[in-house]
Structure 1
Amino acid sequence: MNRIVRVLRDLAVTEPHRTAIRFTEGSSDTERLITYAQLDRDARAIANLLQRHAAVGSRVLLLHSSGAELAKAFLGCLYGGMVPISAKVPVGAGSHLSWATGVVLDADAPIALHDVASMPDVISWSHQDGLTRVTCLLTEDLPDDADLWTDPETEAPTTALISYRGLRAHEPRGVTIDHETLERLCAQLTESMALRAGDRFGGAFCRSGFGLIIYLLLPLSKGCTAFLLDEDASAGLAEHVARHRIDVSVGSLPQYLSHPAGDGADLTSLRWAGVLDWSGSFREVAGALVRRGAPAGAPTPFHIPSQLPVPLVDLPAGPRIQWRIVHPVTSRECEPGDIGELWVRGDSFKFSYWGKAQESAAFFDARIDGAGPGYCRTGDLVSLQDGELVFHGALADRLCIRKRIYSLSGVLALIRGLDSPLLGSAATAFTLSDDDDGAIVVSEVFSPSRGTAGLPELALEIRRNLQMKVGVALNGVVFVSPGSLQDHRGVLTAALTRELFTATLLDVVYEELDPISRLRCWSPSARIVDPVGAQR
C-alpha cells in the first residue's frame, strides 16, 4: 500500500467524521462536504469498479464536471493501482483531433471515468472519435461493495500519475511521476508550508496533474481539511479565505485580489500564502497581498513551470532545489542578467515522458555544455535581477535573435502601450529561425475598407519603440484583420502565428518585410512595402 493511501485509510478509521474536502461549486456556491470515512469508502468502491474492467497499472482518463467527483475518482485510481490522467471534458462536435483523444491514444488508456453531469459529452466524444476500445464508466451511484476492496500492492505500478499540460492534440507528451517522487514532493512541500494536521487548506481547484497534487494529495496526506473553490464558483479566493479562516492557501494573484468582496476581506488567518502566475518583482506582488490584509511573512512565490507538473517554491532561495539559467539553444549557462531557460534539479524532480525515452533524456536529463549533472528543463524563460528570479513567459513563445533570448511579453507590452486607434486587441512576434537578426511582428488592426491609411506610420512607430526600448530589431511588420490570430479555442500563440505566416494563410491587410523574409514567405494578396516605405 503506498503511503498516501495508507494515511487516508488510517484517517478514515481514527477520524472518520472529520471533513476531508469542502467543495464550493456552481454560481450559487453550493457546498459539498466529504468526510475522510466517506472519501475512503467511495475511493474503494471506484477501485473495485476499475479492477473489474482493467488490469492493475492501466492508465485511466478522468473526465468529470464536478471537482468533488474528480477527487473521488482520482483517489479511486490510487486505491486500485491504476494510473490516473485528469483532462477537461471534451465538449462539442468535430472533436476527432481533440486533446482528450490525443491523450487517450498516447497513453493507451482503456478506461475513461466520468460523472453524471459529463456523461452526455463523454459518450458523444467517444462515439465521434471511434474510440470503441475505450470503456466509459460512471463513478456515481456505485454498489456499496467497498468492503470487498483488496490492496493491489504487489502488482501496483511505480507510476503514480501522468500529467498532460498545454500541448497540441497531434503531439501529446505526458509527464510521469512515480510514487516515490510524489511522496518526497509532498513531504518537502509540507515542510516549506509548515503544514500541520488539522490545518484549513484553501485554493481554487484546477484539474491538471499539478492541481491534483497540490489541492488534494498534499492537504489530505497531512490530515488537513481542503476548502476548495471549483472552477465555476462565483466566490473569490480572498472572500473564501476570510469566510473559512484559511491557514494555508495557494492561488494566483488575480484570484486573491479580483473579487470585489476581496477589497475588505480579512486575510489575517493566513499563515502561508503561495502565489501563482506572477511576473516581475515578487516583492511588489507580496506587497499587493499584504495591503489586502495578509500577514507580512505569508506571501511566498509558488511557480508552476510550463512543462513540469510540480511547483517551484520560494526560488531562488528555496531549499533542496538547484537551479541554473541556461540558453535553450546552445545549452550554455547564461551571463548574469541575461534571459534564459530555467533548469532545475533535486530529489523531487524525477520525471519522464510516457513512452518517449529519447525525448525524456533530452528534457529531464539535460546537461549544461553537454556535461555535469542532469537537470530538468522547465520550459520557462527567467532572468536574475537584484537577487530575484524574474519570469518572462514560456519558452515556446520566446524571441531568439542572433541566439540572444528576449522577453516576448515585454515586446508585446510595448506594442499594446502604443497610443493608436488602429491597433487591434491581439499581437505577437516571432523569428523564422534562431539565427535571424530580427523579429517579425504581427498585429491585428482596425482598417476601414481594408485601406492602408496610417499603417506605414504605425509600423514605423513599432519599429522605433522596440529598437530603442528593448533593443529588438525587426525584419518585418505585418498587419492583419481583426480575429485573424486566434486558433479554434480563442488562443493566440507565436508558434501558430508563425505557421500561418509561412503558409501565407493570414488575412494580411498591410506588411513590410525585409527581402530575405519575403523570399521565405510572400503573400501575393498583401500590399508589400519595403521597411523604408517604397510601395511595390
Structure 2
Amino acid sequence: MYFNHVVERLSGRPAGRSGEAAAITCDTDGGEGSGDSSSLSYAELDLAARAVAVWLSEHCAPGERVLLLSPLGVELVKNVLGCLYAGVVPVVAPVPDGRDPHLSRATGIAFDAEARVVLTEASCLSAVHDWLSQDGMGELTCVATDAVPLGDPADWVEPRRDPGELALLSYGSGEGELVGTAISAAALGHGLRRTADALGLTEEDRVLSWLPPDQYSGLMAVLTALSVGATTVLLSPDRFRRDPLRWLELVHRHRITVSGGGPGAYGRCADAAAERGVTGLDLSSWRVAYTSTAMLDPATLTRFARVLAPAGFDQSALRVSYCLPEAGFLVSTTDPRPLLRTARVSAVALEKRTFAASTSAEGPVLVSSGRVARLDLRVVDPESGRPLPDRRVGEVWVRGDGLASGYWRRGGGTDLRFGATLDTGEGGFFRTGDIGVLDAGELFVLGRADSMLTVAGRTIRAHDVERELAERFPALAGHPASVFTVAVPRHEVVVVQELDRVDRDELRLLAGAVRSWLRRRTRVRFGSVVFLQPGQLPAVGGERDRRELVRALFAARAVHPVYEELDGDVRRLYREPTGHGVEVVTGDRVAV
C-alpha cells in the first residue's frame, strides 16, 4: 500500500536516495515560524518522527485524534509524521494566537475531533496555554515537542494499520460549520500517488509551499513531496501575505521546481513584481506552477506569466487543477502547454445548462481543469441522477480509489454525498456539489451548486452577476458584493453591495439602474438591492462562504444598509412592513 511506502521512505529505507538528502528547509529570514533555521535530512526527520511516535504510543490509543497547533515549519512536519508513525490521527488546526476566528476554530475542532492530546512547540506554548485556560479545556494534555524529552527513536515499532483505518482528519479553512473529512490510510496513499504522478514529481524535485497547514492543500503539498523523496522548502503564510515577492525570491534561491497557490496569490505576486521589478531573479527552474480552478480569472495567470517572463518564467509551467479532500486531493489537472485552454461560452446557452461557444465578445470565460487523473468522473443531472453527455452542464460526481471515508461523525450528510448511485444503478460516487461540464475529455468547473442562481428555470452563476455589476457600474467597481436568491415563494435575486457614501438622490438613481439591469440580466420581476458602507460585508474564506453568511444575515435582519430597495414580497418577508412598495434606509436607519 502506498501509505506504507511513505513511512518506509522516511523510516530508514528510502528507495534509491540517501537518507542524508535534504527533506525539509524552513525560511526564517524575517518571517514567523517555529524558529527552526536549519534543514533536516530524511534520516534526521525519520529519527524525530520516531521520537514523537514513541511518546504518543505511551500516551494515546491507536486511532486517537491528536490536535496539532503549530505554524508551518519543521516542528509541525515532525509531529504530523510522528502521528502517522504512531498510528494516531493528526488533526491540524490554526494556532489560537488571539485572533477570534483562530480561537473559536481551534476550540470547535478540538471538541469535534474529541482530542485529548495537543502537540505544539515552545514558541506557541504560551498562546496555547492561554487558549486552554480561557476555553475551559484544561483537561487536554499539552506538550511542546521541541522543549521536552520525547521517546527513544530506537524503541519505535511500526504500527499495523488496516487500509480502512482513519489516517487524517481535515477540517479545511472555511468559515461555516466545522465538518471534518475522514481520510483513511488507503485514501491517503492513493491520493499521494495520484497527485505525485499527475504533476510528475520525483526525488529530484524541490518543492516550495507557503499554504496554511490547516488547509488540506497545504498538508498534501508537504506529504506528497516527502512521499517521493523530494526536498521541501517552507515559507510562512503570514510572510507571503506581507511580502508576496518572498515567494519568488525563494524559488530563485533554492532553484524550486514545483510550487503553487490559489489564483489570488498569483494576482498579488504579479502586482508586486510589476511594481518592484524582477531584476536579479532567475525563475527558469520552475516547471510546475499549480493553482486551483475555483473562481479563476485566466487573465490573472496570463499577466503573472507576462510580468515574470523577463526572469525566465515559462508560461507552460502553469497547471490548473481541480482538487477535493473528499476525493483524495487531486482530481484533474492540465498538461504542460504554452497556453491555458479557455472557452468563452454563451451565457444564454449556459443558463440552459449547455456548453456552447459564444458568437460575440461577451459571455463568461471558463478555464479547463484538464483531464481526470485515474478516477471515474461523471457529470450528472443532480435531480434525477442521470449521467449527462459531453457539453451538458450538471453536478460533478467522482468515484475510485482514494475517496474519503465520509465526514467525521456526520452520518446523515455522509449518506447524502458519499455512496451516491446513478440512475443506471452504478454506485459508490461522491457528489462534489460542484457544477461542471466535460468537453473533449477535459473538465470545466463552473462553481458550487449553491452559488448558482436558479431563476425561472435558468441557471446563472452568482460570480458572473457580481463581476458584471462591477464592470457596468463604475460606482460599484472595486467594492465587494454578494448576490443570492431568496424564495418568496418564487426565487428573487438580492444584491448586497458595498459602495462609497454618496447622497440619497444618487443612491436612489443607482439602485434604480441596478434593479433595471438586474431584471434584464436575470429576468426576475423586480430584484432587490441593498447598499452597505465599505467594510460591512464579512471577510470570510471565499465568495461562497461570504454569500452563505450574507444570505443568513439578510434573512436575520442583521445587515445595516445605508440604502435599500426591496421587492414587495422580499420586504414583507424579511423586513417589518412600512406600508410602502419600496423601503429606503438612510445611515440613521430612518425609513422613507
Q: TM-score range by the shorter chain?
A: 0.7 to 0.9
Higher mean Cα deviation, 321-330 or 135-144? Answer: 321-330
Q: How does 1:242-281 map to 2 (within 5 A)?
A: 242-256=252-266, 257-258=269-270, 259-260=272-273, 263=278, 265-276=281-292, 279-280=295-296
> Given residue 555 of structure 2, which amino acid in structure 1 is its aligned partner?
T
Q: Deviations over 1:158-188 (max 9, x none)?
A: 111011024457x321101111111122222
> Given residue 153 of structure 2, which amino acid in structure 1 is its aligned partner?
A
Change beyond 3 A, Cα 1:424–1:154: closer
Contact 2:320 2:370 in 1 (8 A): no
Change beyond 3 A, Cα 1:493–1:371: farther
Q: How does 1:506-517 map to 2 (within 5 A)?
A: 506-517=559-570
Change beyond 3 A, Cα 1:329–1:464: farther
> Given residue 64 of structure 1, which amino acid in structure 2 is its aligned partner?
S
> Given residue 310 of structure 1, which amino acid in structure 2 is its aligned partner?
F
- 2:320 counterpart of 1:301: yes
**Cross-structure match for 1:441:** 495
**Cross-structure match for 1:417:** 471
SS of 1:10's equivalent in the other structure is coil
**Cross-structure match for 1:146:** 153
Q: Deviations over 1:20-68 (max 9, x none)?
A: 0112135359853111122111111111222222212110111102422
Contact 2:52 2:82 in 1 (8 A): yes
**Cross-structure match for 2:89:** 83
Q: How does 1:293-372 map to 2 (within 5 A)?
A: 293-295=312-314, 297-305=316-324, 310-314=329-333, 315-326=369-380, 340-368=394-422, 371-372=425-426
Change beyond 3 A, Cα 1:477–1:332: farther
- 2:24 counterpart of 1:16: no
Higher mean Cα deviation, 30-39 or 100-109? Answer: 30-39
Q: Deviations over 1:472-531 (max 9, x none)?
A: 665311223333321699997112212221222211232222222122111469986279
Q: How does 1:132-531 map to 2 (within 5 A)?
A: 132-143=138-149, 145-153=152-160, 158-168=165-175, 171-208=177-214, 210-211=216-217, 213-233=219-239, 234=243, 235-256=245-266, 257-258=269-270, 259-260=272-273, 263=278, 265-276=281-292, 279-280=295-296, 285=301, 288-289=304-305, 292=309, 293-295=312-314, 297-305=316-324, 310-314=329-333, 315-326=369-380, 340-368=394-422, 371-383=425-437, 389-402=443-456, 404-421=458-475, 425-433=479-487, 436-447=490-501, 452-469=504-521, 475-486=527-538, 493-523=546-576, 529=582
Give the deviation of 1:87 after TM superposition: 0.9
Instruction: Choose which of 29, 37, 40 in structure 1 pairs with 2:43.
Output: 37
- TM-score, with length taken from structure 1: 0.86
Contact 1:176 1:352 in 2 (8 A): yes
Distance 1:106 1:438 in 2: 37
- State the number of aligned residues: 530
Distance 1:363 1:190 in 2: 27
Contact 2:482 2:496 in 1 (8 A): yes
Change beyond 3 A, Cα 1:302–1:94: closer
SS of 1:73's equivalent in the other structure is helix
Distance 2:527 2:389 in 1: 26
Contact 1:440 1:475 in 2 (8 A): yes
Give the deviation of 1:352 after TM superposition: 0.7
**Cross-structure match for 2:350:** none
Give the deviation of 1:132 after TM superposition: 2.9
Q: How does 1:92-103 map to 2 (within 5 A)?
A: 92=98, 98-103=104-109
**Cross-structure match for 1:62:** 68
Distance 2:60 2:576 in 1: 53
Distance 1:439 1:78 in 2: 48
Higher mean Cα deviation, 94-103 or 313-322? Answer: 94-103
Distance 1:435 1:338 in 2: 29
**Cross-structure match for 2:30:** 27
Cα RMSD for the two superposed structures: 3.6
Distance 2:251 2:185 in 1: 31
Q: Deviations over 1:231-280 (max 9, x none)?
A: 13344433322222223333335545434277454332233332235645
Distance 1:118 1:79 in 2: 24
**Cross-structure match for 1:122:** 128
Unaligned runs of 5+ in 1: none
Contact 1:286 1:300 in 2 (8 A): no
SS of 1:2's equivalent in the other structure is helix
Contact 1:399 1:431 in 2 (8 A): yes
Residue identity (%): 31
Unaligned runs of 5+ in 2: 334-368, 585-590
Contact 2:263 2:297 in 1 (8 A): no
Distance 2:283 2:579 in 1: 55
Contact 1:245 1:269 in 2 (8 A): yes
- 2:139 counterpart of 1:110: no
Q: Deviations over 1:408-464 (max 9, x none)?
A: 21111122234444778332111124973331111123345xx52212221222233
Change beyond 3 A, Cα 1:318–1:95: closer
Give the deviation of 1:353 after TM superposition: 0.8
Change beyond 3 A, Cα 1:323–1:137: same
Higher mean Cα deviation, 71-80 or 487-496? Answer: 487-496
